[in-house]
Amino acid sequence: MADIEVDVVVLGWGKGGKTLAGALGRAGRSVAVVERSAQMYGGSCININCVPTKALVHQAEGRPDGVDAQDWFSAAIGQRDDLVAKLRARNHAMLAEVDAVTLIDGHARFIGPHQVEVQAGDDRLVIDAETVVVNTGTIPAAPDIEGAAGSSCVYDSTTLQHVEPLPRRLVVVGGGYVGLEFAGMFAHFGSQVTLVDHHDELMPGEDRDVADAVRSLLADQGVEFILGGAIGSVRDEGGASARVVVAPSESADATELDADAVLLATGRRPATTDLGLDVAGISTDDRGYVVVDERLRTSVSGVFAIGDVSGGPQFTYVSLDDYRIVLDQLTGGGTRTTTDRVAVPSTTFLTPPLARVGLNESQARAQGHDFLVATKRVADIAAMPRPKIVGETHGLVKVIADARTDQILGATLFCVDAQEVINLVSLAMRTGTTATQLRDSMWTHPSSTEALNEVLAGLQPSG
């Protein structure tokens, strides 16, 4: 017997779920949103992931010479916390003010395909809903490292945002999005950073010239690398420091490092523990992600999974697009699918940022495209004075175009404002705007978009 019955219940306050709840509630559908932590109203993006980390990256970039590193870091954390508190309150208000939306605190778990139990302390509430949307996100996946679980020096991307004091020596394990962003950020804050990844090369999926440029940027910022190695053990040494043993994958001797903090940035796993997916009969894959089709439908009719938990690319704007797909099924023609997404961009927030869309050169070659490529170091792009104005001339711009159709196949922008300009290149790819049109367009001056005028003039057959 249910305590409440609603049209739609959203489990977890993720980007897609909160947007869906607001839209359906404003349209007069009864909606319940269940969130297990009051510190997470508004979801991961605004509370612990995208926004706070980018605020810290921005603060770190601005640290003036001569300022005490610890004072600057403490102030940056204070500013981060103030920003997050404001965003969380605003996110709560945005749903609380919609009459048809009920906000429920507690841990949600399926007790039937369309029945959810919410537990908050000793309180228990049962919700019945025709439509259930699972939007519970992911949590850090910690590798099994001897001594790590009990060590006071081991952090994840959430806990390291409040590390106290600023670590003098930081070991970052993992050279993906989180590892690269935190390595750059903490190097700017003043930590001595060592990045360890078990691949022999940094960013193995990237073109070598791009990966080398990233490595040399971070090296210039003071980051050291141990590649082809995994952390064998972490042993607390007392006095808030640890001895980290890096076991090389091949024959070389193990390396030992002293660290005040170790960040595990080795990927994430779905937040499905104690969610009762099996009780509801909802299928998961071998990594625990909820299996969905191209309309985000799970194996149970009327149950959708959106955002990170559905096993797709883990970005906030993908979760937002998931909302559009589900909304289209609940209120529209039901034609939107994940397969109609074209040219989804991404950015790693280094200083300067590294933004990517479409194919890189290696992928274009592997796929047998007849393509042209243009690459230019940012410092050499005369028609793009903005990096020189802001004093950040690291990086390169690289664009791949189809030799016959002139369509853009992909771009890597590793420069100031890359997180903005990449959206324009993505739109060009989606709308069929050609490389020549981008090359010959008028762009504001001085801007970073102007790179396209000069770099695209250098398109030539790949060597």
Ligand X SMILES: Cc1cc2nc3c(=O)[nH]c(=O)nc-3n(C[C@H](O)[C@H](O)[C@H](O)COP(=O)(O)OP(=O)(O)OC[C@H]3O[C@@H](n4cnc5c(N)ncnc54)[C@H](O)[C@@H]3O)c2cc1C
The DSSP bridge partners found for residue 229 are 248
The DSSP bridge partners found for residue 117 are 109, 126
| Amino acid (1-letter code) at residue 21 | A
- Residue 20 or 244 having the CB closest to ligand X: 20
- Interaction of residue 186 with ligand X, rule CB under 6 A: no
- Interaction of residue 92 with ligand X, rule CB under 6 A: no
Size of the site for ligand X (CB under 6 A): 35
Binders of ligand NAD among residues 336 to 355 (CB under 6 A) are 346-349
- Interaction of residue 415 with ligand X, rule CB under 6 A: no
114 an active-site residue?
no
- Interaction of residue 60 with ligand NAD, rule CB under 6 A: no
Residue 408 φ/ψ, nearest 5 degrees: -75, 130
The separation between the first and the last C-alpha atoms of the chain, rounded to the nearest angstrom, is: 69
Among 9, 23, 35, 387, contact with ligand X (rule: CB under 6 A): 35
Which residue is associated with the tokens 């969610």? 275
Among 17, 52, 175, 387, contact with ligand NAD (rule: CB under 6 A): 175
Known binder of ligand: residue 12? no
Site mask for ligand X (CB under 6 A), range 317-346, x = bound? x-x---------------------------
Q: How many residues does the chain have?
A: 463
Known binder of ligand: residue 307? no
Distances (CA, A) of 122 to 118, 210, 316, 407: 10, 54, 33, 60
Known binder of ligand: residue 35? no
- Interaction of residue 29 with ligand NAD, rule CB under 6 A: no
Among 6, 19, 23, 53, contact with ligand X (rule: CB under 6 A): 53
Among 77, 101, 108, 231, contact with ligand X (rule: CB under 6 A): 108
- Interaction of residue 356 with ligand NAD, rule CB under 6 A: no
Among 8, 16, 193, 303, contact with ligand X (rule: CB under 6 A): 16
CB of 444 closer than 8 Å to CB of 432: no
Size of the site for ligand NAD (CB under 6 A): 25
- Interaction of residue 107 with ligand X, rule CB under 6 A: yes
- Residue 259 or 265 having the CB closest to ligand X: 265
> C-alpha angle 66/70/73, rounded to 5°?
100
- Residue 191 or 375 having the CB closest to ligand X: 191
Known binder of ligand: residue 174? yes
- Interaction of residue 199 with ligand NAD, rule CB under 6 A: yes
Among ligand X, ligand NAD, none, the one that 136 touches (CB under a kind-dependent 5 to 8 A) is ligand X
- Interaction of residue 419 with ligand X, rule CB under 6 A: no
- Residue 336 or 356 having the CB closest to ligand NAD: 356
Q: List, in sequence order, every beta strand (DSSP E) within 121-188.
A: 123-134, 138-140, 154-155, 169-173
Minimum distance of ligand NAD from residue 312's CB (angstroms)? 10
- Residue 424 or 459 having the CB closest to ligand X: 424
Distances (CA, A) of 185 to 141, 216, 242, 257: 21, 15, 21, 20
Q: Which stretch binds ligand X (CB under 6 A): 36-44, 83-91, 212-220, 425-433?
A: 36-44
CB of 9 closer than 8 Å to CB of 133: yes
Q: CA 398, CA 361: separation in Å to the nearest integer?
A: 9
Which residue is associated with the tokens 């991307």? 157
Among residues 450, 449, 461, 394, which one has the least CA distance to residue 422? 449
Minimum distance of ligand NAD from residue 224's CB (angstroms)? 15
Give me the long-range contacts of 80-88 (CB less than 8 A, separation at least 24): 80/52, 80/55, 80/56, 80/161, 83/51, 83/52, 83/55, 84/46, 84/47, 84/51, 84/52, 87/42, 87/46, 87/47, 87/51, 88/39, 88/41, 88/42, 88/46, 88/47
Query: Which structure tokens are listed for 310?
Result: 């559905």
- Interaction of residue 268 with ligand NAD, rule CB under 6 A: yes
Binders of ligand X among residues 261 to 280 (CB under 6 A) are 271, 275
Query: Which structure tokens are listed for 60?
Result: 């770190």
Among ligand NAD, ligand X, none, the one that 147 touches (CB under a kind-dependent 5 to 8 A) is none
- Interaction of residue 265 with ligand NAD, rule CB under 6 A: yes
Non-local CB neighbours of 361 within 8 Å, separated by 6+ positions:
207, 371, 373, 398, 400, 462
Among 22, 33, 36, 213, contact with ligand X (rule: CB under 6 A): 36
- Residue 246 or 275 having the CB closest to ligand NAD: 246
Q: Count the alpha carbons within 13 Å of 209 in the hemisphere toward its beta carbon.
A: 16
Q: CA 48, CA 27: separation in Å to the nearest integer?
A: 30
Q: CA 13, CA 71: separation in Å to the nearest integer?
A: 34
Query: Which structure tokens are listed for 285?
Result: 């894959």
Binding region for ligand X (CB under 6 A): 11-16, 34-37, 40, 43-45, 49-50, 53-54, 107-108, 135-137, 157, 178, 271, 275, 307-309, 314-317, 319
Binding region for ligand NAD (CB under 6 A): 143, 173-179, 181, 196-199, 230-231, 265-268, 314-315, 346-349
Active site residues: 445
* Binding-site residues: 54, 174-181, 267, 308
